[in-house]
Amino acid sequence: MRAVDGRESGTDVAAEFDAFYAGSATRIVRQMVLLTGDITEAEDVTQEAFERAWTRWTVVRAAASPEAWVRTVSRRLAVSRWRRVRNATVAWRRHGPPTELPELDADHVTLIAALARLPQAQRVAIVLHHLADLPVAQVADETGVSVSAVKQQLVRGRAALATSLVDGRSIAAAKPVLVRPKEER
């Protein structure tokens, strides 16, 4: 249906695409299952192909077969994903077996648990400043907050950690942890 000025309305285009999707999506998913052997993968690549078709609908609907266009894009996406997985597998084989990671001692486990109890802003400030050894100004830049806000999060976070770690935990015989001198770099 065309509008008075000769152009199609957005609802007409959407309705046309919806009808195309309803009529061909199941068929294409079934075909992709046969090609990939995995229903989840088939659904993913088909959905992504339909998303691409929608964003290019004026071109796709003018194609000789819009369904063939979507099927081709789905197939190419599946092949691309397969290649990515295959290349990752080859890289891991080339890399060799993973190195043995040492067991975490009780203090590390306690610290991780104490950090997990902090609000996210305090945890991020503590980890970036004290554990990643970034200056306060850089923490502020990376987190998008002011330097004073980072300092406030550090003060609150250290206080919460000190309380958490002293309350029956083992770290360094209950000495406060992660406390720096007054200057914050």
What does the domain layout of the chain look like in residue ranges?
A: 10-95, 106-174
| CATH code assigned to 106-174 | 1.10.10.10
pLDDT at 57: 96
Distance CA 15, CA 83 (A): 36
Task: Output the average pLDDT for the chain.
Answer: 84
Distance CA 24, CA 49 (A): 12
pLDDT (mean) for 33-52: 95
CB atoms < 10 A from the CB of 78, how many?
A: 21
Distance CA 152, CA 166 (A): 21
Distance CA 51, CA 53 (A): 5
Q: What's the whole-model pTM score?
A: 0.49
pLDDT at 166: 78
Strands (E), 21-72: none
71, 60 contact by CB (below 8 A): no
pLDDT in tens, 91-138: 888 887 777 777 878 878 888 888 888 898 999 999 999 888 999 999
160, 123 contact by CB (below 8 A): no
Compute CA distances 45 → 6, 76, 174, whole Å. Answer: 36, 9, 54
pLDDT (mean) for 145-172: 82
Residue 6 has pLDDT above 80, yes or no: no
pLDDT band at 178 (very low <50, low <70, confident <90, very high): very low
pLDDT band at 176 (very low <50, low <70, confident <90, very high): very low
Higher pLDDT, 167 or 56: 56
pLDDT band at 180 (very low <50, low <70, confident <90, very high): very low
Q: What percent of the chain shows pLDDT beyond 90?
A: 55
Both tokens of 138, joined, read 């850089």
pLDDT at 181: 45
Both tokens of 91, joined, read 């890289």
Same CATH topology for 10-95 and 106-174? Answer: no
Q: What percent of the chain shows pLDDT beyond 70?
A: 85
61, 20 contact by CB (below 8 A): yes
Distance CA 156, CA 179 (A): 11
For residue 11, what is the enclosing H or E element?
helix 10-36
pLDDT band at 8 (very low <50, low <70, confident <90, very high): low
Distance CA 142, CA 129 (A): 11
pLDDT in tens, 13-31: 999 999 999 999 999 999 9
| CATH code assigned to 10-95 | 1.10.1740
Distance CA 60, CA 102 (A): 55
Strands (E), the chain: none
